Structure 1
């Protein structure tokens, strides 16, 4: 199943690889992180900070994903949750990509892009905080 998901999200992964390789010339460093099922480009030289996932690639502006970060709700002033690990948040996005494949980016943008109102970001924060709930929609109720 994992290999099927990786094949399904391959277009996203290829985009991530293209952007990641461009960052190598500016000092980015790669590392396969099996816990996140992703090739991570650490010290990625572009972006506002933090990390961005594209398929099985994570572009991280920092030196490690093992750092605490505030949830989107906390950043927006909507709560006072404790920090979560950036690695766990980005892993939730990898799982979302494995299921949605090439549909992920259009759905993510339709849900509002980067921000607290985006159900993908809320689900990733929930997963990072609890280890559950990475899927951005409620599970269907069976009769």
Structure 2
């Protein structure tokens, strides 16, 4: 029972970003965006989502918004799934302040002469988990 209650709280806490991801994804469906479910996330790919991902300050194969993951293609989603699921967990921890915290961390790093994306602690956590998965350690850490 506690697990269900806890998961519900995570969903509610991350829901502002999830709602935005769902809204844009659903609006793009007539233009080719497709959906799939993976674990406790919804993933969408194709259509205008591709354009958005290609035109970010750092072009991306995928991007997480709460419990929604946007991807260039099903293959891109498969390739980035471990990384993006770390961001899902970060949204569950940080909730509606995740996006401002992420952007402020990037801005602070840029001001300090570092790389706003690659040195961002949120990205470093995700890339480290992805690296551990590549050597067979992610099941132990998940």
Report the TM-score when normalising by structure 1. 0.73
Q: Where does structure 1 lack aligned partners over 5 or more consecutive residues?
A: 68-85, 135-143
Name the CA shift for 1:133/1:108 in 2 (closer, same or farther; >3 Å). farther
Q: Tell me what 1:50 maps to.
A: 61
Q: State the number of aligned residues.
A: 114
Q: Tell me what 2:11 maps to.
A: 6
What is the correspondence of 1:35-114 to structure 2 with a 5 Å cutoff? 37-43=40-46, 44-46=49-51, 47-48=53-54, 49-64=60-75, 65-67=77-79, 86-112=80-106
- Inter-partner Cα distance in structure 2 for 1:22 and 1:120: 28
Which is richer in helix?
2
- The secondary structure found in structure 2 opposite 1:9 is helix
- Inter-partner Cα distance in structure 2 for 1:29 and 1:133: 31
- Inter-partner Cα distance in structure 1 for 2:22 and 2:35: 10
User: How far did residue 133 of structure 1 move?
Assistant: 7.5
- Inter-partner Cα distance in structure 2 for 1:23 and 1:122: 30
RMSD: 1.9
- The secondary structure found in structure 1 opposite 2:69 is strand
User: Residue by residue, what CA displacement relative to the aligned partner does 1:59-79 show, whole Å, maximum 9, x if unpaired?
Assistant: 111223222xxxxxxxxxxxx
Match of 1:125 among 111, 116, 127: 127
Give the conservation status (yes or no) of the 8 Å contact 1:126–1:133.
no
